[in-house]
Amino acid sequence: MWIRIWLRKFGREMQPTLRELRFSLTRIKKSPLSIVGIGIILFFFAIALLAPMLAPTPERQRDPYMIPREGFSSTPTPPSEKHPFGTVGLGGQYDIYYGCIWGTRTAIYVGFAVVGVSVLIALVLGSIAGYYGGIIDEVLMRITDVMFAFPALILAMALVTAFGPSLDSVTRALIIVGWPSYARVIRGEVMSVKENDYVEAAKAVGCSDLRVIIRHILPNSIYPLLIMASLDIGAIVITVSVLSFLGLGPPPGFADWGGMISFSRNFIVEGLKYWYTWTIPGLFIFTFVLGWNLLGDAFRDVLDPTLRRR
């Protein structure tokens, strides 16, 4: 008897969630480009997951992210059975196929690490600034103004130079550069949401500030941040590729799409003779960024309350 009562209660509680899920799936189905974006992202996740099988690491090599090098010739070799995408390199032949496959893992790692940590910092600082206001808000927002005074790419390059060129340095630099924009967004949303009646009611019944922020304010103000984060992952991958191309990213030979294109800089001027050296890594970057942009549009269609009311 009590099991039947519990199931009935659980079913009533789940009905709003199920309706929300059906609504979200309906919105996504109405946008074919959103489905394409989701498909592209799932494709890249499959490549990253299956990288050890798609591009096995040589037995004597300890770091799978370092591209195996053959010989010392700097002249690219065209695609072949052994090297499906050809080889390229400065002072050695690096397999483009291996670099692109394992570079997918690098792109996903950097994108999620930068966005995840930046959003976490922004949630803490932006919520505090928006909820309490006053001197706390002034101090935190003036810090973000100082960060915005520098061009993002130039500041990232300076920070990577100070930290020393490496993938971890690039990740730390992009986190430092990226969190202020997220903090501004969440601060504005918190300032708007905290004026609602249900927030005042929560305060009236004795809820602590922490509970009010976590339980009542953030769930109703985080959606623009999620949309912004999904769109920024592609931009972050492009920035990482630019830094790698300029020699400020991981060391030469590391599986990174920007580093692969950097190897081909001396051959781009020769036209289509060595097209595979820069076209194939460029297509990986283009497709990855396109997928995240389309996925961001899907999130906007599902989460944007102005579109939902229509």
pLDDT in tens, 63-80: 888 888 887 777 888 888
Helix or strand run (H / E) with residue 234: helix 223-245
Nearest to 297 by CA among 38, 115, 114: 38
| Phi (first) and psi of residue 234, to 5 degrees | -65, -40
pLDDT in tens, 90-118: 766 888 999 999 999 999 999 999 999 99
Amino acid 54: pLDDT: 92
Q: What tokens does 17 get?
A: 């969630």
Tell me the H-state helices in 77-222: 96-132, 134-148, 152-163, 167-193, 197-204, 209-211
Q: What is the mean pLDDT of residues 131-148?
A: 88
pLDDT in tens, 170-193: 999 999 999 999 999 998 888 888
- CATH number for 17-309 (one of 3.30.70.270, 2.40.50.140, 1.10.3720.10, 3.90.180.10): it is 1.10.3720.10
Residue 140 has pLDDT above 60, yes or no: yes
Q: What is the mean pLDDT of residues 38-55?
A: 93
Amino acid 70: pLDDT: 80
User: Distance between CA 18 and CA 10 in Å, rounded?
Assistant: 12
| Distance separating the N- and C-terminal Cα atoms of the chain | 43
- Break the chain into its structural domains and give their ranges: 17-309
Contact 177, 159 (CB under 8 A): yes
Q: 16 pLDDT band (50/70/90 cuts)?
A: very low
Amino acid 15: pLDDT: 46
Angle ∠(144,156,300) on CA atoms, nearest 5: 65
Cα dist from 90 to 74, 171, 191, 242, whole Å: 5, 25, 53, 18
